[in-house]
Structure 1
């Protein structure tokens, strides 16, 4: 077992006491139930992930690695709470520098756990490339999209779609609802029991394998190796 129920207890308490004094007094607890287990998860994922794609990064560096910072950027936010109340781990493409790069993502929160696969808020050029790939390879797109017709995976983002077709596409395009998307993420939701199970690393890898063709389509669409 990598993650324990103590992690969820810690996240619940952090949401209630989201201040530096409380956190600093429990820094050792943060290290033992959150940070170190997350880094160990990354270490165990690295080799099997490389078998899926050698171009996805699994870095256990404490700073700038796959584990996202717990400290919030509050500069432009009305909410000045200093800490995130979730664990975020992203295995992104080696060419990417931030969370907008295509990749695999694990989200752990007291009330919401999931695996996300794809590209979140891609930049303008990447978004145009994804839309072009759907337009030019409709059969491939519809084939990989079948994964989201199962109970295991969900293709969200409808609320964030464009209201009108993007430039160059007409409203009667057969795949216009997909072309209007701003994100290309599929989601597999998890229970706490999944996350704390002894085989959670293996479980994660199985989900990464299931979604391999989705990731391959997106990375190739923007001219990257998979």
Structure 2
């Protein structure tokens, strides 16, 4: 199952066409293309990449359901609170998470393919209130904070950039001169990269390119998982 030939060139062509024709009518007329060139290879990729990721962390969840609850994200956008009423996402996104329950509540490996490139993410894009509380408890814990600092340094030395710093000063309830204020400013924690050769997307080498990035960034996911195991956050 870990063999993956690469996404067909038609995957990104479909996304480019969707970008220019983002209507329900167009999508309905072209749904057979979506099923064949986007959904089917994406689910194959979810299973194949997920099998490899389990060699990094055996507790990674690989869910091949195609209803939006699994590793493959929904094609439809939630436009209720957005000025942009385009009905569909012009990317295909997938995630493999660590933990039971809803996937967005847990640290994850993520990937998206856009009309023009592909990108990877490791960590959490958003801390809900329970996770934000747990994260701050971890920052105040000597051992866990030292681990975070060590991981962040290794990530940056490997050429990646840690993201998630949000507050300009200490958040409410913390002294602005707190010795760990740098880390208390974060309200999410993740690393993203688009360092994927464009021609690799359609070739078997995509597996090794992505696995190499994920393996280097896995300590972020595993640190967040330890935070949840110790302090909750779900």
Cα drift, residue 203 of structure 1 = 2.4
Cα drift, residue 48 of structure 1 = 2.0
Instruction: Mark the CA change 1:91 to 1:60 in structure 2 (over 3 Å): closer, same or farther.
Output: same
Is structure 2 residue 62 aligned with structure 1 residue 58?
yes
Q: Distance in 2 between matches of 1:201 and 1:103?
A: 17
Q: What is residue 146 of structure 1 aligned with on the other side?
A: 153
Q: What is residue 8 of structure 1 aligned with on the other side?
A: 12
Q: Distance in 1 between matches of 2:19 and 2:199?
A: 21
Normalised TM-score (structure 2): 0.86
The 5-angstrom pairing of residues 1-226 of structure 1 reads 1-63=5-67, 64-111=69-116, 113-136=118-141, 137=143, 138-150=145-157, 152-158=159-165, 161-189=166-194, 190-223=196-229
Q: Distance in 2 between matches of 1:27 and 1:7?
A: 12
Cα drift, residue 131 of structure 1 = 2.3
Q: Distance in 1 between matches of 2:173 and 2:83?
A: 38
Give per-residue Cα distances to partners, 1:87-112, cap 9 Å, x unaligned. 11011123240424211110111245
Q: Distance in 1 between matches of 2:228 and 2:219?
A: 15
Give per-residue Cα distances to partners, 1:41-77, cap 9 Å, x unaligned. 0111232222222221111112121000001112222
Normalised TM-score (structure 1): 0.89
Name which of structure 1's ranges 165-174 and 118-127 shifts more when overlaid on structure 2.
165-174
Q: Distance in 1 between matches of 2:215 and 2:85?
A: 39
Once superposed, what is the RMSD of the aligned Cα atoms? 1.9
The unaligned stretches of length 5 or more in structure 2 are: none
Give the secondary-structure state (helix, strand or coil) at the position aligned to 2:111: strand
Answer whether contact 1:92 1:101 (CA < 8 A) is retained: yes
Give the secondary-structure state (helix, strand or coil) at the position aligned to 1:30: helix
Shift >6 Å, 4+ stretches: none
Answer whether contact 2:8 2:202 (CA < 8 A) is retained: yes
The unaligned stretches of length 5 or more in structure 1 are: none
Give the secondary-structure state (helix, strand or coil) at the position aligned to 2:74: coil
